[in-house]
Structure 1
Amino acid sequence: MGTSVYTSLLIKDFKRKAGNIKALRKDLRDLARVVMDMEKEQAALLTVIQSREPDFLPSSVKPISTAPKVLGLPWNRLSSLVQEAIKNSENQGMLKREITNYVIINGPVSAENRRAFTIINRCVLDCLRRLRKKGILSSTCFDRNEAGQLWTFASTK
């Protein structure tokens, strides 16, 4: 007796999840290498700084959080692409993933792998937050997470 259709679908789903886990572990290993290299660079900088200024305490320094730049796309171009996407939308606002897709299609960037898409997605989110903080955009939350926000212009002047 062969396997049932339901069992074969479960096996197929299991294989797909195993493949996703394998890809994510590879990405995680790559990111861990990048972090370790950056920590070595930071330790070298700390050595140089402490040789010149012995009273320097690394714990007293507030880190500057940075978001990666979108693969060669200037920040002002990203802002204009985001605003252009919302302006050209037919409905009352756009989701973040729709804006990200618009940036990838209409901007001079390419998301050739998952990591590049993640970087672009993160930069679009940072740009949306920055534009909301400036009062240019507003968001309406219809879901509990950030993916469920509709982004629109703050005022229609």
Structure 2
Amino acid sequence: MLIGIMSDTHDNLPAIRKAVDFFNERNVELVVHAGDYVAPFVARELGRLRAPLKGVFGNNDGERKGLYEALGIYDDILEIEADGMKIAVTHGTDERIVRALARSRLYDVVVVGHTHRYEIREEGRTIVVNPGEVCGYITGIKSVALLDTRKRVVEIFNIETGELLGAMSL
């Protein structure tokens, strides 16, 4: 399964549009959002995704009821299983929780956001993936990740240039 991973969209509608187009062009089968949508009106752009969207709340998601009604987002931690791969998703506000999920040996991949900095790292036998920020507000880089569960590869891309920013085999 090809999974698109995004985080920290922060209401930047033009950037969200680029991320949606990026995922649609690559025919992802699922999109995971690691939080900080900010407001329910982002649903208009996210609704253009051809793949289902699953996600968690971030620390800037104040309108949780509206996000639930618009996108079905309702939790702080999400578990996904795809092609025998177990994936946990959390915003990553508390690094202790991220470490605990990664070290639990329950997940092959832990997806986080929050820092706005893209990263792929090993934590024991688990890969921790932060796709960076779609909004580009902090780093100036608008990025997303692709996780191919069949090929067991994760890649991070700049959605403005298409440049591959990082990759790791699982």
TM-score, normalised by the number of residues in structure 2: 0.20
Name which one, 1 or 2, has greater alpha-carbon Rg.
1
**Higher percent of residues as helix:** 1
**Higher percent of residues as strand:** 2
Larger relative contact order (Cα-Cα within 8 Å, sequence gap ≥ 6): 2
